């Protein structure tokens, strides 16, 4: 009998979790938007441009790509420092709502700066290298701004060369 009351009590507590009976505890890095959704906040000292996100109503490529002309120019500039090839990978478009120039790839084991080269156009972009689990032969995901900068088709699977350093 006591087990039934204990189970009933646990169920009663769980049903109150989403009803306001037990308000959620906010985290120090989150804030509530006007629509009531919890949104992450930038850490103190983070550059504003690094956290610029597309509007919720974004529907076109231009609306999702929040990079500035200066950021695109900087990403297209040559590194001027030593870099090494880490291999080739097949990329698809990553999360279009995630800003910045980045590639998520199993070719690297730690985060860092690098460059991708799309042989189809000969264009390259400076990107943040983000490691993901998987064999080196697995595919990668690249940001919308990086795909646009190198001239890769957004709806296709293309091979890019990945370089670390720079």
User: pLDDT-derived band of residue 5, with 50, 70 and 90 as boundaries?
Assistant: low
Q: Rounded to two decimals, what is the model's pTM?
A: 0.63
Structural domains in the chain, CATH included, are: 69-164 (2.40.40.10)
- Cα 87-102-66 angle, rounded to 5 deg: 150
Q: Per-residue pLDDT tens for 70-125? A: 887 777 777 667 889 999 999 999 999 999 999 999 999 999 999 999 999 999 99
The reported pLDDT for the residue numbered 147 is 96
The per-residue pLDDT for 71 is: 80
Phi, psi of 87 (to 5 degrees): 130, -175
Which range (16-20, 63-67, 76-80, 156-160) has the least confidence? 16-20
For the segment 30-69, what is each residue's pLDDT rounded down to a tens digit?
455 555 555 554 444 333 345 578 778 878 777 788 788 7
Pair 75, 101: CB distance under 8 Å = yes
């Amino acid at each position: 009998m006591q087990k039934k009351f204990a189970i009933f009590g646990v169920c009663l507590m769980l049903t109150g979790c989403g009803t306001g009976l037990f308000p959620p505890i906010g985290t120090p890095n989150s804030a509530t938007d006007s629509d009531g959704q919890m949104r992450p906040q930038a850490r103190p000292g983070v550059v504003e441009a690094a956290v610029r996100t597309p509007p919720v109503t974004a529907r076109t490529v231009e609306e999702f790509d929040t990079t500035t002309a200066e950021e695109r120019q900087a990403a297209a500039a040559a590194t001027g420092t030593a870099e090494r090839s880490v291999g080739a990978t097949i990329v698809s478009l990553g999360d279009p709502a995630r800003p910045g120039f980045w590639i998520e790839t199993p070719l690297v084991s730690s985060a860092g700066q690098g460059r991708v080269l799309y042989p189809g156009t000969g264009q390259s972009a400076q990107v943040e290298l983000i490691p993901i689990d998987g064999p080196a032969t697995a595919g990668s995901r690249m940001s919308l701004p990086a795909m646009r900068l190198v001239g890769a088709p957004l709806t296709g699977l293309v091979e890019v060369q990945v370089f670390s350093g720079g």
